[in-house]
Amino acid sequence: MDEVYDLIIIGGGPAGLTAGIYAMRAKLNTLCIEKENEGGKIAEAGIVENYPGFDNIRGFELAQKFVEHAKKFNLNITHDTIKKIDTSDRPFKVIGENNTYTAKAIIIATGTKDKKLGLNEDDFVGRGVSYCTTCDAFFYLNKEVIVVGRGTPAVMSALNLKDIVKKVTVITDKEELRAAESIMMERLNSAENIEVITNAKPLKILGSDKAEGVLVSIDGEEKEIKADGIFISMGHIPNSEFLEGSGIELNKSGFVVVDKSCKTNIDGIFACGDIAGGVLQVSKAVGEGAVALASASKYLNSLK
C-alpha cells in the first residue's frame, strides 16, 4: 500500500483497541490490523467478575463493548495475517498475507494463543476436543467431560462447564491444582460435580472417529479416563512467531521485551497487553494500551 500511516496497531484485542481509541482521539492516522475477530481472547471467557465497572459480564459482551467503543471513534480496522515486520528502514513495513503496510510507528498487541498438549489432539479438534469452553460447552449438555490442564486456565474451564455438563473431571500433571484467585478454588472445591485427578500425565487422546477419553499415567500406571468431550486448558503462549528476524527483542518464552513505557529495543516500536507477558489480565492489557499509545505519540512528535 502507498499510504504511510502514523501508526499501525497489530492486534484488535483489549490492548490494541484501547491504543486505537486513544490514537483516534489524538488525531493520528492509524490502522489496526486484526487476524480474526476483534475483541481478543477475552471473548472466550465465561463470566468476567474482576474488570472494574462490571461486577458481572460475559467475556463476549465485554469484548463487543471494546469493539463498539473503538468503532465509535472510527478506528480503521482491517483483517490480515501479519507474516513479518521489516525494521531495516524507516518508515517500517508490516507485511501481511493480503498487503504490505507502511507506518512511522508500530504497536504490537497480538496477545497469546492456546498451548497444546503436544500429543495427538489435533486429530480430534472439532470431534470431541476443544480449547474453548464458552464456545463448545453446550454441545455437552448433561454429559461428562474432561478438562486437561494446569493452574488458573484449567480451574476456569471447569467452573465454566460445571453448570452445563453432568460431570467435570480435571486431569493435571501437577501435584496440586491451583488458581491465581482463592475465590476460584473455593468455587471449584464446593462444586459437587467436579473431580480433580492430580499427578496424571496425559499420554494420548483415545478414540477413532471422535475423542472418547484420555490415557494417562498415574504413578507409573496407565489408566483410561473416558468422557464425552475433552477440553484442553494448558495455558497460553505468545503470538510472536512473525517477529522472528525482525530485530525486536523477545524473552526465552517468546514474549516481547518492553520497558515500563511499553517501548521495545527498537525506537518507534512498542508492545502492550498479553504479548508483553506478565500478568495476563484484561485490565492490565487496557492500561498498557493507553501507555503504549502515549509513548508512540511522544515518539511521533519527536519526528516532527
Q: Give the active site residue among 122, 135, 163, 259.
A: 135
Convert the pLDDT of each residue in 168-219 to its tens digit.
Answer: 999 999 999 999 889 999 999 999 999 999 999 999 999 999 999 999 999 9
Q: Give the active site residue among 80, 86, 123, 132.
A: 132
Residue boundaries of the structural domains of the chain: 4-114+236-303, 121-233
Q: What angle, rounded to 10 degrees, do the helices at 14-25 and 59-72 form?
A: 20
Provide the pLDDT confidence category of residue 238 given band limits of 50, 70 and 90.
very high
Write the CA distances from 233 to 148, 154, 156, 236, integer angstroms: 6, 5, 9, 9
Write the CA distances from 21 to 2, 29, 50, 293, integer angstroms: 24, 12, 22, 9
What's the count of helices (H) and strands (E) in the chain, helices before strands? 6, 19
Convert the pLDDT of each residue in 83-123 to its tens digit.
Answer: 999 999 999 999 999 999 999 999 999 999 999 999 999 99
Please say whether the dihedral angle defined by the alpha carbons of residues 227, 216, 235 and 246, taken in this order, is positive or negative: negative
Provide the pLDDT confidence category of residue 58 given band limits of 50, 70 and 90.
confident
For the entire predicted model, the pTM comes to: 0.87
In which region does residue 213 sit, left (phi positive, over 0), alpha (psi from -120 to 50) or beta (all else)?
A: left
Q: Do strands 211-218 and 200-207 pair parallel, antiparallel, or not at all (unpaired)?
A: antiparallel
Q: Among this protein's residues, is 132 annotated catalytic?
A: yes
Q: Are the folds of 4-114+236-303 and 121-233 the same?
A: yes
Are the C-beta atoms of 249 and 256 separated by less than 8 Å? yes
Mean pLDDT for 4-15 is 97
H/E run at residue 183: helix 182-190
Cell numbers for 280, please give them. 495476563
Which homologous superfamily is 4-114+236-303 in?
A: FAD/NAD(P)-binding domain (3.50.50.60)
Are the C-beta atoms of 150 and 172 separated by less than 8 Å? yes
Q: Among this protein's residues, is 262 annotated catalytic?
A: no
Convert the pLDDT of each residue in 246-261 to its tens digit.
Answer: 999 999 999 999 999 9
Which homologous superfamily is 121-233 in?
A: FAD/NAD(P)-binding domain (3.50.50.60)
Provide the pLDDT confidence category of residue 25 given band limits of 50, 70 and 90.
very high
